[in-house]
A and B are shown apart, each in its own frame.
Chain A
Amino acid sequence: MNLTLKVWRQAGPTAPGQFETYEARDISEDMSFLEVLDVVNEDLNDRGIEPIAFEHDCREGICGSCGVMINGQAHGPGFRTATCQLHMRLFKDGDSITVEPWRAASFPLIRDLVVNRSAFDRIIESGGFISVNTGSAVEANMIPIPKVVSDAAMDAAECIGCGACVASCPNGAASLFTAAKMQHLNLLPQGQAERWQRTQSMVETMEDFFGSCTSHGECQFACPKGISIDVIAYMNRDYLKSMSKNRKLGGQGLTT
């Protein structure tokens, strides 16, 4: 099939940007969206035009590099898929597709479709560590944990840090990311020792960079891993508790 791509081109962080229109010919419906960008880039290369810069790595939905806004939806119209897993069979011959980078104050644009998501690293850093003994791993069944709890922690741990939640949120909030990263530890026995310091530090660092949640619920549909906003409610609950627990601890262990 043949497609028309409208792609955001911007040479650098402060350079002016605009949409450029490119034709993508003979696209197979089995291709992923990133492969279409590859096809377009080869053509641009042959014509001596600077190829479109976009981030990618694993191309199997596990690294979180590849997010872009496709037709006004984070990672495009696919259900629970990252851009690299978005199959072109979801589009029709002759479709016009608009591709834009994530936009948020704390995701400054680097070039074309690539943004700097290192604000996420600041949130992770502020979460600190969990106390586990070094040495060989203990036998897994030595730590009792209800199945539902380990399932909930696993669901939260699926987050690949792609930034689709921030990108899709009308407030530019990172609540889904922060809550997922916090809750997969807060739910588990191994995460209890630092639970309250982690909660307060991560919430405060998140708010240095991102907006506040107003429960639009947009993020949970943009999330390629389908993480539910239930984790945000859990974070809100833990946050209130953490404020009184940390007070009793005199602020010990707070990383920020």
Chain B
Amino acid sequence: MATQSSTEAAVRPVNRRPRPMPWPLNIYQTAVGKKWVMAITGLMEIGFLVMHMLGNLKIYLGASALNHYAEGLREFGDPFAPREAVLWILRIGLLVAVVLHVHAAFSLWRMNRRTHPESYRSKRDYIAANWASRTMRWTGPIVLLFIFYHLSDLTFGGQNPSFQNGEVYHNVVASFSRPSVAAFYVIANLALGVHLFHGAWSMFQSMGINSPQYNSLRRVFAVLLTIAIIGPNISFPIAVQLGIVG
């Protein structure tokens, strides 16, 4: 290991250490802790994606099935909780997860720019780092922008050509009938798929879930999960465009 000689300038810390907050907030102050938060919030987002995809499959059962399911979401918890109460609790939980996920990603990205400011002058030859792992910081923002559009299109209706509250099937068909919008949904979901392919594997590392016996299954899990979520998701706009749904 290199030793410090008097002619060399001392190596100074690149990252400033924050004043420690009380436990457990201090965990989030380190990068390792932020990765834990990214993994746990990522897992919550995956849970949402699975439920969202499963619910949307009802579109193939017809308008009444999909609208009935959408109404069911609002009534979830009835008669114990008021209408939409459980839905809003889930929404707020998801919102907190997304905000934390984005904040952790952004601050880690800034940290890694500080610690790796100079790139190599010659061409790098990557062995393991793949396209998915190196584009997380692009696929993430793409998915985030897509979520804003998607909410405006099908939840609030601002971007929808003929939005009718509660008429989910109608709104979806109206939106996906526009070829450019259908293409955008497909592209955004492919970006989400690339993001998931790395994230669903990486979260095991971040949370220290590691055992030589099962390690190879982590990649298999990420691939299957990505296909299971993204496959149905991109089928919806394609089905509307092909006239299968509509």
B8 near A244: Cβ-Cβ < 8 Å: no
* CA of A192 to CA of B210, assembled, Å: 21
B127 near A73: Cβ-Cβ < 8 Å: yes
* CA of A124 to CA of B3, assembled, Å: 12
Given contacts A6-B122, A204-B17, 18 further A-B contacts (CB under 8 A): A65-B2, A103-B118, A115-B2, A116-B2, A116-B9, A120-B1, A120-B2, A170-B134, A172-B115, A207-B15, A207-B111, A208-B17, A215-B133, A215-B201, A217-B133, A229-B205, A236-B205, A236-B207
* CA of A165 to CA of B17, assembled, Å: 23
Q: Which residues of B contact A115 (CB under 8 A)?
A: 2
- Contact pick for B125, options A71, A118, A161, A238, CB 8 Å: A71
The residues in A between 214 and 249 inclusive whose CB is less than 8 angstroms from any CB of B are 214-218, 220-222, 229-230, 232-240, 243-244, 247
A222 near B127: Cβ-Cβ < 8 Å: yes
A55 near B119: Cβ-Cβ < 8 Å: no
* CA of A216 to CA of B111, assembled, Å: 16
* CA of A103 to CA of B208, assembled, Å: 28
**Is the C-beta of B32 less than 8 angstroms from some C-beta in chain A?**
yes
**Is the C-beta of B129 less than 8 angstroms from some C-beta in chain A?**
yes
Q: Which residues of A contact B216 (CB under 8 A)?
A: none
A236 near B11: Cβ-Cβ < 8 Å: no
A105 near B122: Cβ-Cβ < 8 Å: no
A150 CB to closest chain B CB (Å) equals: 15
**Is the C-beta of A34 less than 8 angstroms from some C-beta in chain B?**
no
Task: State which size class the interface on B falls in.
Answer: 35 or more
* CA of A197 to CA of B33, assembled, Å: 16
**Is the C-beta of A187 less than 8 angstroms from some C-beta in chain B?**
no
B121 near A204: Cβ-Cβ < 8 Å: no
* CA of A207 to CA of B215, assembled, Å: 27
**Is the C-beta of A64 less than 8 angstroms from some C-beta in chain B?**
yes
Chain A binder among B22-30, B69-77, B231-239? B22-30
B142 CB to closest chain A CB (Å) equals: 17
The 0/1 profile, CB within 8 Å of B marked 1, for residues 184-204 of chain A is: 000000000000000000011
B167 CB to closest chain A CB (Å) equals: 42
The 0/1 profile, CB within 8 Å of B marked 1, for residues 40-64 of chain A is: 0000000000000001000000001
* CA of A236 to CA of B124, assembled, Å: 28
The residues in A between 64 and 122 inclusive whose CB is less than 8 angstroms from any CB of B are 64-65, 69, 71-73, 98, 100, 103-106, 108, 110, 115-122
Q: Which residues of B contact A253 (CB under 8 A)?
A: none
**Is the C-beta of A2 less than 8 angstroms from some C-beta in chain B?**
no
**Is the C-beta of A33 less than 8 angstroms from some C-beta in chain B?**
no
**Is the C-beta of A212 less than 8 angstroms from some C-beta in chain B?**
yes
When C-beta atoms are compared, the residue in chain B nearest to A109 turns out to be: B118
When C-beta atoms are compared, the residue in chain A nearest to B123 turns out to be: A72
B205 near A106: Cβ-Cβ < 8 Å: no
- Contact pick for B134, options A121, A124, A204, A216, CB 8 Å: A216
A212 near B36: Cβ-Cβ < 8 Å: no
**Is the C-beta of B180 less than 8 angstroms from some C-beta in chain A?**
no
**Is the C-beta of B13 less than 8 angstroms from some C-beta in chain A?**
yes
Q: Which residues of B contact A122 (CB under 8 A)?
A: 11
Of the A-B pairs whose beta carbons lie under 8 Å apart in the complex, a sample of 7, sorted by A's number, is A116-B8, A172-B112, A209-B11, A211-B115, A236-B36, A236-B208, A247-B23
